[in-house]
Chains A and B, each alone.
Chain A
């Protein structure tokens, strides 16, 4: 341990030069920080993390590197980078720094009851009330972003994607988020067909309306034709008769679409490919995969499959079918087994080989699986999953699923600084998260560790 604890002083921004110099003095301890050069603007708050190892995900791992943050965003990553003297320095030379972990779909901290049926207008945000420390257990184990989902079967509603900490105003990331679908084949097909029928209903109403408008316009035109003959001189010069038909449609009532069943509105958006609307479809068995693929043949919707690949669920059987579709998958960190044999199969790797992209998320809603999440990943890596793939699958891939990969998921320029500081390699036994940074600020420190 260095004398200066990581995070030293500062929950406050470094402003005056004097303080900067003092900070620099305090935190030197022989670190090669080629300082100064730039004159910082007042609205640019620099933070520098001196890390023992940086797992950037986007590129090589960097030993004894620097991460320069400006206002919570990453400006540069590397070794021997320049930064202003007044920058706040976080000494994490005995830490491994990597992007925060992501949980794609959990009920952590939410009540344990749900509803069955089509309720896609509801969101997890409706039942979510923030209270201080509710996600401390998750922060203890490195989760900086979670997607809270509504509970139940069918199409129970839409998710809330949120930070697990940090300032309230930037905490919520997406709401309403993706549509959670946990429906069996028939329910899903019926729901999508109903949504399609709603669209057709609106289109038909619009068509009828336009036809009616046309008829009325024709009627008016006929009347207008008749009018000048009867009173040709009475029209004032200021109102040329030619402008009347042009202004007439504007005065007419605008088209009022018939109301769409609110429970189906998000599905309608889904079918109409509205920007940012997508579904995560939960599948419990390989048979479900085939059934759902059959339904999706007739409905082109943006979707991600969330596979409940518990051991011995046999999802590797459908790897090729999913790979053909270049499916985007969310999976649990489990290996599978050939039925009636001891042969182990790394389902996640099989899926990737076949052409799918896989993000990993801890299963269930409980704390335990989140506590041992990195251990499970390490186990899979020891069974032959490539380390880089594994690290991507817990950071950037889930962010891609959530549509937040432009903002989070790696340590590179212009990404926001959601970082975790571990006291060892994340996939090594016994490594623990020590500090968690969200938005460039240390928001959580794990207590009670040596």
Chain B
């Protein structure tokens, strides 16, 4: 009976999902390769600009080509406000510099314009000035076989950089897989893969702080099946980075380049109540060693008979502890009961090492203590304690209190929170909507538990990246970071939102229009927004 009801509910949910998405407003999705019409370009270049010095000429050409690269549908008021609202992009000079470099070919240093850009050195009558100069300069560069720079851009999107304010309608421009500029009026280079995100929301790719089955085992870059359906589905769920074993790796569907971001993320600590005293005393011993070492180094210049502390015993776990205490590594442990959480947080605080706690079901009971310790957590807002154990005794070794407010409470107290769904793999087993495909929904549940939308978004992007120690490369949209982003048709925290593009390393890894994965779910029909009747304690602010 119970089973059949679950089945019906799952079906109903699936139906709801399908019909609901069918009713979404159709959105214009167009992917264009912008090869600016060479004729106009060259005529403009040759007739107008060529008498000036070449960098000015380049700029002018870009201004000429601008209307054809970006649709002129913006109201007149916008251009005036936009330049002021460009806080994230690199300084304006950067694109210009890039342009000059493109116009004159890549010099070895990639620095200021090469001397060949002086007007006199150009062939005066050349009709194809740019091509000539480019080809000659590439032939004279030291590495002629060098691959051309690859530019890609998402334009016209509502950009959520996660760190920093939203850009209402802007462009993210990436070069060779790194974001180089972001803002409202970025000018695109001539050769650029463009995703038109008009009416769509752009986020950094989601980071799954718990995941399995997306990458191969062992050496991830050797064993990953880059055409696996799990990867494709995870990308369709917006995930572009995931933990793979003890590494952080990207979901480079269809490419084997640049898979691994960081190896050996964590030192795994067993901190259950049997092991704790041992770990504590071992840590103590290592800490004493570090103190003695410091002492020795202080004394060395003065004392001749100063002896370096014995370090032969620093092997195996002690070596790991040494790394931990010297902040060269991060520890990870599983702890769920409040008592355990307090204890492990205490150890981390006392010995001052970075600790990631997986689980933390009862973190809400000791959020203050966790907040004071150098601790971050990987939690599941929808976590439930196992009813099957039938333990209601508070002396029980099993956790017995979970709440949807867990993530919110922890984050309120300054703990870095990463959210993962109940099942950290792509699976069709169990209840629908609980697996890794619904990472975004899990963050939505954190909102239900009291978090703000922005904070919940952080738990699956920048904060998850911080927990994995890869926030220098992924987790937000900033110049200099990897071009990992997703383009979706709504708020990523909403359960009906579909990801339309996932970009990994500046390369489109998932394209909904090309993939057959969700071909049966089409955004057709009249927009009919769903009615919500559950309002406790708060709900997503669904756009009108």
Contact = CB atoms under 8 A, between A and B. Distances in A.
A286 B232 CA distance: 14
A339 interface: yes
Given A186-B219, A290-B256, A317 B227 contact: yes
A314 B225 CA distance: 12
A2 interface: no
Contacts of A285: 225, 227
Contacts of A414: none
Interface in B228-284: 228-229, 254-257
A340 B229 CA distance: 10
A361 to B, nearest CB: 23
A298 to B, nearest CB: 14
Interface in A245-293: 285-287, 290-291
Nearest to A340: B516
B222 A186 contact: yes
A185 interface: yes
Contacts of B225: 285, 287
Contacts of A314: 227
Nearest to B520: A340
Contacts of B229: 339
Interface string A372-383: 000000000000
Contacts of A294: 256-257
A324 B223 CA distance: 24
Nearest to A295: B222
Contact of A290 (B219, B228, B255): B255
A341 B519 contact: yes
A184 B228 contact: no
A340 B256 contact: no
Interface residues of A, number: 17
Chain B binding surface, main DSSP class: loop
A287 B256 contact: yes
Nearest to A293: B256
Contact of A291 (B222, B254, B516): B222
B516 A338 contact: yes
A339 B517 contact: yes
Contacts of B226: 287, 290
A185 B216 CA distance: 12
A286 B224 CA distance: 11
A291 B256 contact: yes
Best-surrounded residue of B226, B228, B257 (most CB of chain A within 10 A): B226
Interface string B508-526: 0000000011010000000
Interface string A281-325: 000011100110010000000000000000000100100000000
B223 A185 contact: yes
Contact of B254 (A185, A317, A340, A341): A317
Contacts of B224: 287
A341 B227 contact: no
Contacts of B256: 287, 290-291, 294
Chain B: number of interface residues, binned into ranges: 10 to 19
Contacts of B228: 287
B223 A184 contact: yes
B227 A185 contact: no
Interface string A2-41: 0000000000000000000000000000000000000000
A339 B515 CA distance: 9
Interface in B489-544: 516-517, 519
Nearest to A187: B222
Contact of A340 (B222, B223, B227, B519): B519
Contacts of A189: 222
B257 to A, nearest CB: 8
A184 B516 contact: no
Contacts of A338: 516
A339 B516 contact: yes
Contacts of A341: 516, 519
A432 to B, nearest CB: 39
Nearest to A291: B256
A306 B226 CA distance: 19
A311 B152 CA distance: 34
A393 to B, nearest CB: 25
B517 A340 contact: yes
Nearest to A343: B516
Contacts of A184: 222-223
B518 to A, nearest CB: 9
A378 to B, nearest CB: 28
Contact of B227 (A186, A286, A343): A286
Contacts of A291: 222, 256
A287 B227 contact: yes
Nearest to B224: A287
A339 B223 CA distance: 22
B461 to A, nearest CB: 27
A58 to B, nearest CB: 38
Interface in B194-228: 219, 222-228
Contacts of B223: 184-186
A338 B227 CA distance: 13
A341 B516 CA distance: 7
Interface in A331-352: 338-341, 343
A285 B226 CA distance: 10
Nearest to B254: A317
Contacts of B517: 339-340
Contacts of A317: 227, 254
Nearest to B219: A186
Given A184-B223, A290-B255, A317-B227, 19 more contacts: A185-B223, A186-B219, A189-B222, A285-B225, A285-B227, A287-B224, A287-B225, A287-B226, A287-B227, A287-B228, A287-B256, A290-B226, A290-B254, A290-B256, A291-B222, A338-B516, A339-B517, A340-B516, A340-B519
Interface of A: 184-186, 189, 285-287, 290-291, 294, 314, 317, 338-341, 343
The 10 closest A-B pairs by CB, nearest first: A287-B225, A290-B256, A341-B516, A185-B222, A186-B222, A287-B226, A286-B227, A340-B516, A287-B227, A338-B516
19 contacts: A184-B222, A184-B223, A185-B222, A185-B223, A186-B222, A189-B222, A285-B225, A285-B227, A287-B224, A287-B226, A290-B254, A290-B255, A290-B256, A291-B256, A294-B257, A317-B254, A339-B516, A340-B516, A341-B519
